[in-house]
Chains A and B, each alone.
Chain A
Amino acid sequence: MRIRVDWRVSCRLVGTILKWLWVPLLFPLGIALYDGTALLPFVLPILGTVLLGFGLEQLTDERDLRAREAFLMVSLTWLSIALVGAVPFLLAGEGTLAEPVNALFESMSGITTTGATVIVNFDRHSRAILMWRAVLQWLGGLGILVLATAVLSQLSVGGAQLMETESQTQDVNKLTPKISETAALLWKLYIGLTGLQVAVLYGLHLVGYAPEMTLYDAIAHAFTTIATSGFSPRGDSIAAFSPAVQWVIIPFMAIGATSFVLLYFVFQGNFDRLRNSDEFRFYVAILGFFSLGVGGMLFANGGPYTSLEEIARHAIFQVVSIVTTTGYASTDFNLWSAGPKHLLFVCMFIGGMAGSTTCSIKTLRWLVVVKAFRRDLFTAASPSAIRPVRLSGSVIDEETIRDIYAYTLVSLVFFILATIFVVLDASRVQLTVSEFEAMSAAAATFFNIGPAFGIAGPLESYEPFPRSTKLVMTFLMWVGRIEIIPVLVLLTPSYWQS
């Protein structure tokens, strides 16, 4: 048996990325310096990651990335950043994060922009450590998009399907002739939007509409809103802040889940692309539909809310938060009645637009599934008819449709298997978890949403789950974020054999 994959090339490129991880680590280091808390949790990883990066770069001089190496590289990048990211948590040794599996879980949840936490008591953690969680999420938010643009779009296989469908409808690759330029443009847009949100949130504080929103909070929340990731340095998540803050965060979450290519055109003053995008209309319609549904049910049930504004705010906030896979909570939706809770559960399977920072199955795939199904119904009645499936006017090729069907199906299979595991593993250690709680926890981790219902609810923690479950969930977050296929490809024996 001869190994065909040149793993050294992949590791070398992962090394190049790790080498630069010291830059984001400076941010929490600065806060630790300012606060006078422990510096070691950040100094050591800074030295370590640079050394590790250089070390990996020595493996080979070859830099040419082929499909097989790309899959390995993408998978390893996320895994290795999660491992490095866990080191500050371990070294700080505060609260539940001192435990290795918990630290890895938290770090993976961060870099995959999931937002599921194992922290039980937020007061036990330093501001520097809480900021590190936010920084990890901010990196993970656009990181996947840039990696997908830079790496996957150059390859025409498997995992590149997402970019393929997008390049057909949105011309991702054609923003600029060079992919590195496109990546730079996306980062500028991302940084700009984050800066804008910091300014708005802190501005609200300065004019007195958000007494709780300190500059630290403004930065930490901006990092995790545009990234649609959902970590908050507050145990109460967004419920800790005023209604004004909650209203402001809604559009920013929605923007984070909007295709960055469309956003780019909007900032160029070209609104036609937005108007003509079938996917954008579908995405907005979904947000509207579920907000009305949840709001209507909350209104009908009476519930804990007194004013119409409150019902509207929480319904819209929660729907946008779950659909965009952000996972913030403006209220403890665990306490809602079954109806709105189940609607929110359905929202977990949707996701935002392709080409955004969001996760889950994504509206693009659902829209294609819906359109292809409608076409199949038509051709069932009229077998000779040739009906291409169109998105925003352009035709999607049949191979892409098959890929999308396959992806959607595989996602659902993963979700079912994960649910079964959670139920069995919990009963093994006599932890009481209802089926709905297990389903929601599996979906919340696999689709990178964060909070689930019940035991892992919005104001609760994943800490009570057994270690084995947390490890499996760590794996789920990893595969979910890099869209399954690269990892699945790695797991097939033929990938490694000639």
Chain B
Amino acid sequence: MRVIVVGAGEVGSNIAVSLAESHDVIVIDVDPEKVDELTYSNDILAIEGDGTSLETLENAGIAEADMLIASTDDDETNLVTCGTAKTVGGVFTIARTRNTNFFKTWTKSEDAFGVDFMVSTNLLTANDIVRVVGLPAAIDVDPFAGGLVQMAEFEVTAESEIAGQTVEEADKFEALTFAALVQDGDVVIARGQTRIEAGNRVIVIGSPESVQSFSRTVASPESSDEARNIVVVGGSDIGYHTAKLLEERGIEPRLIEQDADRGRELAEDLPGTIVLEHDATDTDFLVGEQIDRADAVIAATDSDEKNLLVSLLAQNIGVQRTVAVVEEGQYAGLFEAIGIDVAINPREATAEEIIRFTQKGQVENLSLIEDRQAEVLEIEVDEESVLTGRPIRECVTELPSDVVIGAVTRDQEFIVPRGETVIEPGDHVVLFVATDVLSPVMDLV
């Protein structure tokens, strides 16, 4: 497949690098430095130019391209790029937008702007935040098989019940599979005798109920079972959508916004949210409003620094969990190192969503683990698959050892994968696969 990526920022380069393994990738950017950097460090053709110009697109071979991904930081540029590309031919266009109005227009009329698939960064980020907040101690949660299966990543703290136990001892859940541990940044496949240490991260795949109950085991004893008392700081678009999604879940969140006019606007648009107009870095105010008793504080202002400060303040006064939005991708790790429970980077989420979409066809859905050291992917098995028609115990012998069968669904029902389970054609299987064995595994299944 020939793919043109317009915009070599964080999102664009991430996508380009990821797709370059199996596709022809051409990147267009106005910044010559970024173009050079990509050309030298990857097997990618990089062109300097403006993606909204037909000439540049033609230079990049738009007529022969199968897919165009417009991923600059500017919404209008992305939309115009897609529109321009559509004038040439049948290329499939993907656009990244921040402004949710564009996304709303597009979902109502899918031909709008000449865009075939649109990723709304802010909405996507808000969704990620709400999923993570819904599970105590989770850092990452992704749904599979239409929500029947969940992949979740948890941080194991010293107070956690499973700290020091082996996987075998910790595995007390019917519909849950331990996929892997992340130890010092390395992904290790979970075996029965693998010991879970404090500071590790553990990746599990299972039914949403079992993941929910497992999360309670991982979480420290004083954390509440269900996060209901949630505070969103910052009335940014992400903050707004987070509050709205929480409202839809029947939670009445509190939202702190410093600007009076924006606060009023939010209060009018969010009937189920209590909007507070104040500076969230005022500790007296936070304690006065009993923010210290919140189950989670989500820092979603427009500034990374402020998000960090707010999260640290919140932790300082005793908030259970802090989630921070980090626009600058390279800070995300730093945030988590300092002690923020979850740092969510909208650009990374966007790149992941676009990569996920481009992989469609081969896999139903996927999730990237720890800088792409591993992937969790969902496939629909057919007659030819090595998994079909035999008990799992037998077919795993043909798969590389860095693969875990996490869950199986058949006719919209969850099936716990056991040694004797026989997978039938049409079943959906959620696999955990280390990236270095990805291609051979994909060939087999």
Spell out A's residues near B (CB within 8 Å): 382, 384-388, 390, 393, 395
Secondary structure of the A contact surface, majority rule: loop
A387 partner residues in chain B, CB cutoff 8 A: 267, 274-275
Highest count of chain B CB atoms <10 Å: which of A382, A385, A386: A386
Inter-chain CA distance A104–B35, complex, in Å, is 90
A203 CB to nearest chain B CB (Å): 46
Inter-chain CA distance A385–B264, complex, in Å, is 10
A368 CB to nearest chain B CB (Å): 16
Q: Is the pair A385, B271 in contact by a Cβ cutoff of 8 Å?
A: no
A393 partner residues in chain B, CB cutoff 8 A: 271
B165 CB to nearest chain A CB (Å): 44
A381 CB to nearest chain B CB (Å): 10
Q: How many A-B residue pairs have CB under 8 A?
A: 30
Inter-chain CA distance A385–B267, complex, in Å, is 9
A391 CB to nearest chain B CB (Å): 12
Q: Is the pair A395, B277 in contact by a Cβ cutoff of 8 Å?
A: no
B196 CB to nearest chain A CB (Å): 43
B275 partner residues in chain A, CB cutoff 8 A: 385-387
A384 partner residues in chain B, CB cutoff 8 A: 256, 276-278, 285, 289
Spell out B's residues near A (CB within 8 Å): 256, 260, 263-264, 266-268, 271, 274-278, 285, 289
- Which 9 pairs show the lowest CB-CB distances between chains A and B? A386-B267, A384-B276, A384-B278, A395-B268, A386-B275, A386-B263, A388-B268, A388-B267, A384-B277
B263 partner residues in chain A, CB cutoff 8 A: 386
Inter-chain CA distance A384–B271, complex, in Å, is 16
B285 partner residues in chain A, CB cutoff 8 A: 384
A384 CB to nearest chain B CB (Å): 4
A388 partner residues in chain B, CB cutoff 8 A: 264, 267-268
Inter-chain CA distance A390–B285, complex, in Å, is 27
Q: Is the pair A382, B267 in contact by a Cβ cutoff of 8 Å?
A: no
Highest count of chain B CB atoms <10 Å: which of A384, A385, A395: A384
The residue in chain A whose Cβ has the minimal distance to the Cβ of B290 is A382
Inter-chain CA distance A385–B274, complex, in Å, is 7
Highest count of chain B CB atoms <10 Å: which of A382, A388, A390, A395: A388
Q: Is the pair A382, B271 in contact by a Cβ cutoff of 8 Å?
A: no
Inter-chain CA distance A330–B275, complex, in Å, is 51
Q: Is the pair B289, A382 in contact by a Cβ cutoff of 8 Å?
A: yes
Q: Is the pair B271, A390 in contact by a Cβ cutoff of 8 Å?
A: yes
B262 CB to nearest chain A CB (Å): 10
Inter-chain CA distance A311–B277, complex, in Å, is 54
B256 partner residues in chain A, CB cutoff 8 A: 384
Inter-chain CA distance A386–B258, complex, in Å, is 11
For the complex with contacts A382-B274, A393-B271, 6 further pairs of A-B residues with Cβ separation under 8 Å are: A382-B276, A384-B276, A384-B277, A385-B274, A385-B275, A385-B276
The residue in chain B whose Cβ has the minimal distance to the Cβ of A387 is B267
Inter-chain CA distance A291–B283, complex, in Å, is 53
The residue in chain A whose Cβ has the minimal distance to the Cβ of B275 is A386
Inter-chain CA distance A393–B277, complex, in Å, is 22
A393 CB to nearest chain B CB (Å): 7
A390 partner residues in chain B, CB cutoff 8 A: 271
B323 CB to nearest chain A CB (Å): 22
Q: Is the pair A386, B271 in contact by a Cβ cutoff of 8 Å?
A: no
The residue in chain A whose Cβ has the minimal distance to the Cβ of B268 is A395
A117 CB to nearest chain B CB (Å): 48
B276 partner residues in chain A, CB cutoff 8 A: 382, 384-386
Inter-chain CA distance A387–B275, complex, in Å, is 7
Inter-chain CA distance A385–B256, complex, in Å, is 9
Q: Can you report 12 residue pairs joining A to B where beta carbons are below 8 Å apart? A: A382-B276, A384-B256, A384-B277, A384-B278, A385-B275, A386-B264, A386-B266, A386-B277, A387-B267, A387-B275, A388-B267, A390-B271
